Amino acid sequence: MQPGKQLSTSIDSAVPTAARMYDHYLGGKDNYAADRAACEELDKVVPSTRALALNNRRFLQRAVRTLSQEYGIRQFLDHGSGLPTQDNVHQVAQRIDPSTHVVYVDNDPMVLVHGRALLEQDERTTVIHADMRDTDAILAHPETQRLIDFSQPVAVLFNSVFHCIPDSDSDGPRAVVRRVTEHLAPGSFVLMCQLVSEDPAVREFVTDFMDQATQGHWGRVRQEKDVAALFDGLDILDPGLVEVSTWRPDSEVAPRQLTQEWIEFGGIGRLR
Ligand SMILES: C[S@@+](CC[C@H](N)C(=O)[O-])C[C@H]1O[C@@H](n2cnc3c(N)ncnc32)[C@H](O)[C@@H]1O
Domains along the sequence of the chain with CATH: 18-270 (3.40.50.150)
Mutational test site, ligand 1, from 160, 161, 170, max ligand atoms within 8 Å of CB: 161
* pLDDT exceeds cutoff 70 at 158: yes
State the chain's mean pLDDT as an integer: 95
Partners of 268 in beta bridges: 191
**Rg of the Cα atoms in the chain:** 17
What would the mean pLDDT of 190-212 be, rounded to a whole number? 97
Give the contacts of 123 (CB within 8 A, at least 6 positions apart). Answer: none
Q: Tell me the pTM.
A: 0.97
176 lines ligand 1 (CB under 6 A): no
159 lines ligand 1 (CB under 6 A): yes
pLDDT in tens, 142-156: 999 999 999 999 999
Q: What is the DSSP string of 238-251?
A: TT-SEEGGGSS--S
Instruction: Say what the pLDDT of residue 255 is.
Output: 87
Nearest-CA residue for atom 16 of ligand 1 = 164
pLDDT in tens, 162-184: 999 999 999 999 999 999 999 99
Question: What is the C-alpha separation between 84 and 117, in angstroms, rounded?
Answer: 10
Question: What is the C-alpha separation between 98 and 272, in angstroms, rounded?
Answer: 27
227 lines ligand 1 (CB under 6 A): no
Nearest Cα neighbor of 61 from 31, 82, 35 is: 82
Q: Tell me, in angstroms, the distance from the centre of ligand 1 to residue 132's CA.
A: 9
C-alpha distances in Å from residue 239, one per residue of 16, 130, 235 = 35, 32, 12
| Residue 85 contacts residue 57 (beta carbons within 8 Å) | yes
Nearest-CA residue for atom 27 of ligand 1 = 82
Question: What is the C-alpha separation between 69 and 57, in angstroms, rounded?
Answer: 18
Q: Residue 235 CA to chain centroid, in angstroms?
A: 20
Q: Tell me, in angstroms, the distance from the centre of ligand 1 to residue 108's CA.
A: 8
Mutational test site, ligand 1, from 26, 50, 106, 245, max ligand atoms within 8 Å of CB: 106
Element (H, E) at 173: helix 173-181
Nearest Cα neighbor of 214 from 56, 55, 60, 21 is: 21
Nearest Cα neighbor of 61 from 265, 245, 270, 186 is: 245
Q: Provide the CB-side half-sphere exposure for 30 (13 A, CA).
A: 21
Q: Which atom of ligand 1 is nearest to the CA of 56?
A: 8
Question: What is the C-alpha separation between 1 and 240, in angstroms, rounded?
Answer: 30
164 lines ligand 1 (CB under 6 A): yes
Mutational test site, ligand 1, from 30, 107, 193, max ligand atoms within 8 Å of CB: 107
Q: Tell me, in angstroms, the distance from the centre of ligand 1 to residue 22's CA.
A: 9
Is the C-alpha dihedral spanning 82, 83, 87, 93 positive or negative? positive
Nearest-CA residue for atom 19 of ligand 1 = 131
pLDDT in tens, 21-61: 999 999 999 999 999 999 999 999 999 999 999 999 999 99
Q: Residue 152 CA to chain centroid, in angstroms?
A: 22
107 lines ligand 1 (CB under 6 A): yes
Q: Tell me, in angstroms, the distance from the centre of ligand 1 to residue 82's CA.
A: 5
